[in-house]
């Protein structure tokens, strides 16, 4: 956060920094300091918008880093899986149950897996039924716009702040 870049009032910038250091939590005292009067609206509005833009940029950078790390994780998982398959196949081919060294040990462990070959042959007691019921806001909006009165739903017009 650079004052010369945005020329933000130092007191307000310091307040934003304190809020950021507190994981975005705002104390009642800070809330009072953030309160905007009509006279302060333009100056603080610009400062708010610059900090919002900076936060949005940080979020975008974090999203990009998460995407990069997710790809790296996937590559490592795939390599690990392939190497496990390779060593497992080789051990099975040569009839080796265990490999031990001073630093690591490889061995097979027995486990059981339930395999379903044809679920149509299973009794009903083997199934669970999941039912989900969700409201289609698209359908509700369409019906209201066509003139139907729906109790329990209405269309509300919202205003969303844009920062360009």
pLDDT tens-digit readout, 41-69: 777 788 888 889 999 999 999 999 999 99
- Computed on alpha carbons and rounded to an integer, the radius of gyration of the chain in Å comes to 30
pLDDT for 28: 87
pLDDT for 6: 45
Distances (CA, A) of 131 to 128, 134, 135: 10, 10, 13
pLDDT for 1: 43
pLDDT for 160: 76
pLDDT for 17: 85
pLDDT for 81: 95
pLDDT of residue 2 exceeding 80, the answer is no
Q: Categorize the per-residue pLDDT at 9 as very low, low, confident or very high, splitting at 50, 70 and 90.
A: low
pLDDT for 3: 36
Average pLDDT rounded to a whole number, residues 61-90: 97
Q: Categorize the per-residue pLDDT at 76 as very low, low, confident or very high, splitting at 50, 70 and 90.
A: very high
Round the average pLDDT of the chain to a whole number and report it. Answer: 86
CB 33 within 8 A of CB 15: yes
> Rounded CA gap, 64 and 67, in Å?
5
- Judging by beta carbons within 10 Å of its beta carbon (0-12, 13-18, 19+), is residue 26 exposed, middle or buried? middle
Average pLDDT rounded to a whole number, residues 137-141: 93
CB 113 within 8 A of CB 102: no
* Both structure tokens of 142: 């369409």
């Amino acid at each position: 956060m650079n004052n010369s870049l945005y020329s933000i009032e130092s007191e307000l910038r310091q307040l934003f920094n304190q809020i950021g250091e507190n994981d975005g939590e705002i104390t009642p005292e800070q809330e009072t300091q953030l309160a905007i009067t009509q006279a302060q609206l333009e100056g603080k509005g610009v400062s708010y918008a610059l900090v919002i833009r900076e936060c949005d940029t940080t979020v975008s950078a974090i999203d990009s880093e998460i995407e990069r790390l997710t790809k790296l994780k996937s590559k490592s998982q795939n390599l690990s899986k392939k190497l496990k398959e390779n060593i497992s196949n080789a051990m099975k081919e040569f009839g080796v149950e265990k490999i031990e060294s001073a630093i690591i040990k490889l061995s097979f462990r027995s486990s059981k897996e339930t395999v379903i070959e044809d679920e149509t042959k299973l009794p009903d007691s083997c199934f669970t039924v999941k039912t989900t019921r969700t409201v289609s806001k698209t359908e509700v909006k369409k019906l209201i716009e066509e003139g139907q009165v729906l109790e329990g739903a209405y269309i509300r017009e919202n205003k969303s702040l844009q920062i360009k």
